[in-house]
């Protein structure tokens, strides 16, 4: 499957259209993605970018390509120096610490490590060599130890962003300096200032400008001609535009086949920003929600579409992933029990049911066709995967019932193949955890308790109190206990055929919290300087519609549990260009004296 040829199409920001991906060298792909400026914790906008390009990395490898993936660290920069001075810390030590924190966030989000992760401070010679070539080609000039690139020397300047040179205004992401020949000229080398890190150069001590770093490091690891250059849409101008100008001025053979950019992150339909107080780090989100929930939420939207982050959306994503892993665990346990109880299971003849085989084929085909269509993940998560999970629960139901041996055998074989295929798809999407299914579910429950500000002992005590109320036929009290817990994101499940009650996380039935994790640090969760895309910039004319993660299907619980779903939160306002979020189906309110479980 993974080695079959497929016509993989990606959207190229340079040509503003989808194109069939053809690598420069058959079977090999070279990819560079702009990394972070390490002076604080990374925010969810960075999670959006690096999850998107991790998916690309994974899918290219799935297609059988040998991929060299380079993602840099900017570890010397004005912002790093400013932050270090505020904290009274050495800039190198500060940036090094936040590089490690970034790597921990990426590991939590299950982003594979790139082939190379170069740091600016370790590539000063390559940077100085490129600047020297640009100067030798007459495209840069010096002023008192500063070196500037002359935009007038590069007639194609603005080709990527669609901006005209006369549209550039000094002071808008371009440093104001009356000494420059053109206000749009940008720094390749900055002369040393007292108390700042500096390196010796032919133009005097100093440090590199931001844009030249990526040009030099990408050329060092991938040569001047490679396949994919990626980053956030807001890097199109000036960062990527300046990279093109520098790289082509240093080497006429410089050529990048595909420029790929991911969309913005909004918070409750407003752009994420520190000034609005809605600027949140990855760490703040994953403290209350499992990293897999954040990854699932991001993948539930096409990578070029805007993402609207809200408590409602992240809770729906969390519910969806919990349902996936509950189904995985139930399947693993059922298959283990069936194999132990059937001595001839390995030798018995049976076949996968037609319904299960159809689900498997559809899931396999959807993964291939949708990801090959510019990494269109929403349809996979919202349709084919949900259908496969539903079919797995149908098999589980058969295995629990008294059926003929042949029916049990077919259900077991079907469940085995479905489980294998679902795990393969989750692996490609980066949603298959390294921990066991039971461990992942426990991690979800721990975060649910943290959000509810409860301990497990508190929940167990409430379950006991509810059981006593039911015994005393005080159904109003027992219903109130269930309702109060549901409002905090804790759902109670009465186990059929027993007097036991279990609990699991759920979407809170009453949304009283802000649109981001409680009590956020309003520190700059900063990383790479992400310039605002200008209004003149030509954006993709046909950006895909945003699709939110689907609510998990209402399964017939394999553990014979009767789960009452809390009322879904009121529908959040979505971006005007995106379809409305499909909310979880709200089950009828189950009264404790009702004997019929909700369907």
How confident is the model over 316-367, as pLDDT tens digits? 999 999 999 999 999 999 999 888 765 444 555 678 999 999 999 999 999 9
What pLDDT, in 10s, does the model give residues 530-573? 333 333 333 333 445 444 444 444 434 433 343 333 333 333 33
- Biggest alpha carbon distance in the chain? 90
Lowest mean pLDDT among 151-155, 481-485, 536-540: 536-540
Confidence of residue 277 (pLDDT cuts 50, 70, 90): confident
- pLDDT higher at 347 or 471: 471
- The reported pLDDT for the residue numbered 130 is 98
Q: Determine the 3-state secondary structure of 147 from DSSP.
A: strand
Mean pLDDT on 74-85: 95
Contact 91, 84 (CB under 8 A): yes
DSSP 328-362: HHHHHHHHHHHHHH-TTTTTS-----HHHHHHHHH
Angstrom distance (rounded) from CA 516 to CA 289: 11
pLDDT higher than 70, residue 574? no
pLDDT higher than 90, residue 587? no
What pLDDT, in 10s, does the model give residues 39-50? 999 999 999 999
- CA nearest 258: which of 29, 7, 10? 10
- The reported pLDDT for the residue numbered 282 is 97
Residue 308: which residues within 8 A CB-CB, separation 6 or more? Answer: 266, 267, 268, 269, 546, 572, 574, 575, 578
- The reported pLDDT for the residue numbered 350 is 73
- pLDDT higher at 179 or 537: 179
- CA nearest 30: which of 224, 213, 163, 287? 224
Q: Could you give phi then psi for residue 39, rounded to 5 degrees?
A: -135, 0
Confidence of residue 405 (pLDDT cuts 50, 70, 90): confident
Confidence of residue 406 (pLDDT cuts 50, 70, 90): confident
Contact 212, 147 (CB under 8 A): no
């Amino acid at each position: 499957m993974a080695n079959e040829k497929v016509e993989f199409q990606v959207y190229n920001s340079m040509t503003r259209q989808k194109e069939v991906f053809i690598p420069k060298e058959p079977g090999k792909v070279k990819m560079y993605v702009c990394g972070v400026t390490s002076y604080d914790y990374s925010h969810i906008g960075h999670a959006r970018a690096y999850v998107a390009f991790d998916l690309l990395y994974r899918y290219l490898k799935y297609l059988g390509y040998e991929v060299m993936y380079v993602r840099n660290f900017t570890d010397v920069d004005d912002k790093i120096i400013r932050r270090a001075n505020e904290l009274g810390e050495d800039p190198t030590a500060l940036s090094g610490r936040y590089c490690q924190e970034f790597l921990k966030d990426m590991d939590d989000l299950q982003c594979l490590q790139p082939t190379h992760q170069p740091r600016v401070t370790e590539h000063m010679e390559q940077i100085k060599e490129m600047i020297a070539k640009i100067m030798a080609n007459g495209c840069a000039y010096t002023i008192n130890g500063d070196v500037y690139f002359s935009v007038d020397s590069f007639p194609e300047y603005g080709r990527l962003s669609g901006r005209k040179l006369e549209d550039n205004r000094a002071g808008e992401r371009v440093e104001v300096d009356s000494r420059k020949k053109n206000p749009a000229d940008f720094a390749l080398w900055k002369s040393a200032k007292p108390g700042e890190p500096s390196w010796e150069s032919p133009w005097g001590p100093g440090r590199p400008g931001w844009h030249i770093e990526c040009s030099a490091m990408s050329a060092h690891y991938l040569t001047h001609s490679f396949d994919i250059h990626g980053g956030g849409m807001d890097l199109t101008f000036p960062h990527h535009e300046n990279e093109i100008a520098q790289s082509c001025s240093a080497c006429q053979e410089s050529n990048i086949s595909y420029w790929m950019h991911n969309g913005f992150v909004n918070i409750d339909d407003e752009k994420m920003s520190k000034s609005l107080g809605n600027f949140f780090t990855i760490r703040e989100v994953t403290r209350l929600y499992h990293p897999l929930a954040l990854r699932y939420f991001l993948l539930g939207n096409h990578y070029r579409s805007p993402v609207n982050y809200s408590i409602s959306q992240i809770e729906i994503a969390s519910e969806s992933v919990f349902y996936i892993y509950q189904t995985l665990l139930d399947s693993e346990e059922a298959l283990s029990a069936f194999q132990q109880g059937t001595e001839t299971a390995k030798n018995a003849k049976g076949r996968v049911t037609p319904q299960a085989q159809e689900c498997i084929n559809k899931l396999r085909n959807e993964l291939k066709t949708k990801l090959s269509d510019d990494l269109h993940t929403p349809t996979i998560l919202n349709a084919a995967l949900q259908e496969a999970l539903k079919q797995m629960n149908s098999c589980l139901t058969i295995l629990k019932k008294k059926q003929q041996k042949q029916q049990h055998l077919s259900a077991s074989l079907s469940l085995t193949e479905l489980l294998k295929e679902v795990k393969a798809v989750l692996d490609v999407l980066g949603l298959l955890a390294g921990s066991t299914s039971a461990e992942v579910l426990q991690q979800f429950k721990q975060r649910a308790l943290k959000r509810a500000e409860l301990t497990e002992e508190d929940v167990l005590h409430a379950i006991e109190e509810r059981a006593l109320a039911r015994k005393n036929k005080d159904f109003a009290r027992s219903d109130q206990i269930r309702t109060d817990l549901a409002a905090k994101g804790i759902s109670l499940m009465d186990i059929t055929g027993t007097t036991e009650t279990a609990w699991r996380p759920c979407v809170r039935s009453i949304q009283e919290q802000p649109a981001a994790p409680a009590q956020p640090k309003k520190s700059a969760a900063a990383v790479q300087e992400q310039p605002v895309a200008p209004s003149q910039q030509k954006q993709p004319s046909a950006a895909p519609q945003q699709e939110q993660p689907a609510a998990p299907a209402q399964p017939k619980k394999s553990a014979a549990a009767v789960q009452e779903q809390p009322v879904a939160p009121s529908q959040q306002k979505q971006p005007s260009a995106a379809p409305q979020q499909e909310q979880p189906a709200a089950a009828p309110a189950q009264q404790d004296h009702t004997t019929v479980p909700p369907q």
